Chain A
Amino acid sequence: MNLHRYGRLLVAAVALVVAAACSSPATEAPATQATGAEKLKIALSNSFIGNQWRVEMENVFKAACAMPPYVDQVDCSVYNAGNDVSTQSRQISNLISQGVDGIVINAASTSGLNGVVQQACDRGIVVVSFDNTVDAACGLTVNTDQVKFGQQLAQFLVDQLKGQGKVIMVTGVAGTGADNDRNKGAKEVFAANPGIEVVATYSGMWDSATAQRATSGQLPSLPEIDGVWVSGGTDGVIKAFSAAKRPMPVFAGEAENGFRKYMAGILTPKVNGMSIGQPPFLSVIALELARGVIKNEHPKQSVTIPFPVVTSETLVPGETVFPDLPDSFFADFTDSGPNATVILCQEAATDGTPCPGKTLDVNFGQR
């Protein structure tokens, strides 16, 4: 028994000796790091990587880091926290220890990182949060206006239907800020147009399969529908209309590649619609804001970017709709048009590889 206890002590002692032995050669490390010291160190701290949107968001970040001007100016790193606040908090503390210049955050909790973000700010680190942003007053944010999302899609329906018709609303995940804001924006516009009658409102949970099931269940009890407003899962709603052999109404929905395939006529039936989405390239905008603020090229101000918008008329295969990518892909990983916020290629979103021969130009926009 005693031997066993000594054995345990021995294990501890060996572990410590190993620790000491390994740490001595490591002290030479700063010499090698010093050569790349002129590059800025910017890290992406992401709360979790459990869905298509987050994967694209990280991929375009990695791609941007491998493209000029970032490839010459910035050393990027990426961390995921498994949607756990204390893990993300530890990671940000470690980034502070590493002495990074900027931290770009998609937060696990809007309030849970306040303490550590404040500590980062106190040490002169530029903190930019996006999508699910951080409350801490010292941090900058990059985001879109979700109320406008609802308004813009609803206004499109009103214009297409010339102010007269029956519409349905397919909402998102209840209790989230984005869902509340999107619904609020849409209801404002519909309420201001008395010719528009909202005949049904139900949740599609921002998921194509759920939206399809819910719509199939609702359709038999509904009159002829002229317009559909969808917060997410648009291609599922279209499939439900198609399966029920209903005439195709006007669709206003998210940026799923599947929805855009229907809009472009790549999938049949072709539908008339408008597609807007929360762009995965928010991570790239946040990277650019962090870089610009550190280099004193941008004022230290938060940024609200316009949504990437396409309609059935403006869709271009290969630019805003991608015939060879799956339906669930978010086709708004790149903006389009002359005033585009940022233009990225397909490889950037699918593999995180740089777009060949391209210099990234981020336009914070005066639109």
Chain B
Amino acid sequence: MREFMARLRLVPAQAGLGYVVLVATAAAYLVVYTSSLGRFPTSFDYLSILNTMLPLVFVAIGQSLVVLTGGIDLSVGGIVSLCVTVTATTVTGTGLAPFGWLLVVLALGAACGAVNGMIVAVGRIAPILATLATLSIFTGLALWVLPVPGGSIPPVVRNVLSNPNVPTGLIWLGVAVGGWLVLRRTRFGMRVYAIGSDETSARAVGVPAGRVKLGVYALSGLCSALAAIFYVSTTTAGDANAGAPFILTSIASVVVGGVAFTGGRGSALGAVAGAVALTLVIDVLFFAGIDPLYQSLFQGLFLVVAVLLGTAATFLTRRRRATP
């Protein structure tokens, strides 16, 4: 029993923040939607929310992995842009051929991430500097691949990934969540938390911190590539500037999702909840009829309130721990 309680304490109250914010945002969405249109959201609404949020969900998962090790990945914007342009220009054909190309794109994303990992782990450069530099490189490469927005995606890919009529996106969301649940129970997953909690101690007990970090950044790159594929699938075209907004929104998702920036605490599922909540906030503001001039003000307020809630939750848990 003591052991069980000890394990429970390892799950900080902050990790629940993402779910609370998500439930509150979803409730707010239902309220403003029904009061503005006089009916409940239809399958079209749910489906378009699902398809629009998938890219951010994937980037947020990758970002949360990096943040769990105590790092940050600014280059997600560049990797998304690069993979978007490559997907929109090279993925062609019918039948199974396009899916072969998609694997190439995923490999490209993972390779880009591995470059970040090398610089951070081997070069011992601060993650914020390393990924800021590679962000420019990847964005530049994206502009070189596709200087003006364009390109296309075979309809077969669209039907499988983000079908506008059938919620195929749910399958992929399930795969991503399942992947995380498996990953965090593996030795690799444990090591990610160990490094984030205290890298020196982790190294002392023989955790190969460099290799784990390399893997984490490569996974983040893979997630960005997945996001890029879903982006092209939803919008049906590429744009070399497509990735830029994901830098801030993925970090915001991680924050709202209750992943601690000091590393070692939180969960990718929280970041997923945060990403969904951030997508829904746009719709809440839309149906609440907020003056467009003040929409970014309210989006910012939402972030600040969510973060304050998280801090308050951590504070309360600490006090509870202090008084046994």
A residues whose Cβ falls under 8 Å from a Cβ of B: 1, 4, 8, 11-12, 15-16, 18-19, 22-23, 26-30, 33, 46, 49, 78-80, 82-87, 89-91, 93-94, 96-98, 109-116, 118-119, 135, 175, 177
In addition to A19-B30, A83-B245, A115-B235, 12 A-B residue pairs with Cβ atoms within 8 Å of each other are A15-B27, A22-B34, A23-B31, A26-B35, A26-B36, A89-B234, A90-B48, A110-B239, A111-B151, A112-B239, A175-B147, A177-B148
Instruction: Decide yes or no whether B178 CB sits under 8 A from chain A.
Output: no
Q: With A97-B44, A116-B48, A118-B236 as given contacts, are A85 and B149 in contact (CB-CB < 8 Å)?
A: no
A23 to B: closest C-beta gap in Å = 4
Partner of A1, one of B9, B42, B235: B9
B36 touches A29 (CB 8 A): yes
Docked complex: B83-140 residues within 8 A CB-CB of A: 88
A264 to B: closest C-beta gap in Å = 32
Q: With A1-B5, A97-B41, A135-B150 as given contacts, are A115 and B34 in contact (CB-CB < 8 Å)?
A: no
A86 touches B56 (CB 8 A): yes
A4 touches B13 (CB 8 A): yes
Residues of chain A contacted by B143 (CB below 8 angstroms): 175
26 CB contacts below 8 A, A to B, read A1-B5, A4-B317, A15-B24, A16-B23, A16-B27, A18-B27, A19-B31, A23-B31, A23-B40, A26-B34, A26-B36, A28-B38, A33-B38, A83-B245, A86-B55, A87-B245, A90-B283, A90-B286, A93-B49, A96-B48, A109-B235, A110-B148, A111-B238, A112-B149, A118-B236, A175-B147
Instruction: Decide yes or no whether B20 CB sits under 8 A from chain A.
Output: yes
Residues of chain B contacted by A116 (CB below 8 angstroms): 48, 235
Q: What secondary structure prevails in chain B residues at the interface with A?
A: helix
B235 touches A113 (CB 8 A): yes
Residues of chain B contacted by A113 (CB below 8 angstroms): 235
Would you list the 8 A-B pairs with minimal beta carbon distance, nearest first? A111-B237, A29-B38, A26-B35, A111-B149, A19-B27, A80-B292, A93-B48, A30-B38
Closest A residue, CB atoms, query B148: A177
A87 touches B282 (CB 8 A): yes
Bound Cα distance from A111 to B93, whole angstroms: 21
A27 touches B39 (CB 8 A): yes
Residues of chain B contacted by A16 (CB below 8 angstroms): 23, 27
Residues of chain A contacted by B241 (CB below 8 angstroms): 109
Bound Cα distance from A135 to B151, whole angstroms: 11
B residues whose Cβ falls under 8 Å from a Cβ of A: 5, 8-9, 13, 16, 19-20, 23-24, 26-28, 30-31, 33-42, 44-45, 48-49, 52-53, 55-56, 88, 143, 147-151, 164, 234-239, 241-242, 245, 249, 279, 282-283, 286-287, 292-293, 295-296, 299, 317, 320
Bound Cα distance from A118 to B51, whole angstroms: 15
A101 to B: closest C-beta gap in Å = 15
B174 to A: closest C-beta gap in Å = 21
B34 touches A23 (CB 8 A): yes
B23 touches A11 (CB 8 A): yes
A27 touches B149 (CB 8 A): no
Residues of chain B contacted by A1 (CB below 8 angstroms): 5, 8-9, 320
Closest B residue, CB atoms, query A34: B38
B167 to A: closest C-beta gap in Å = 15
Partner of B282, one of A15, A91, A109: A91
Residues of chain A contacted by B279 (CB below 8 angstroms): 86, 90
Bound Cα distance from A8 to B19, whole angstroms: 9
Q: With A84-B245, A111-B150 as given contacts, are A78 and B44 in contact (CB-CB < 8 Å)?
A: no
Q: With A12-B20, A135-B150 as given contacts, are A78 and B30 in contact (CB-CB < 8 Å)?
A: no
Q: With A80-B293, A115-B164 as given contacts, are A85 and B286 in contact (CB-CB < 8 Å)?
A: no
Bound Cα distance from A12 to B296, whole angstroms: 26
Bound Cα distance from A114 to B149, whole angstroms: 11
Residues of chain B contacted by A87 (CB below 8 angstroms): 245, 282
Bound Cα distance from A19 to B30, whole angstroms: 7
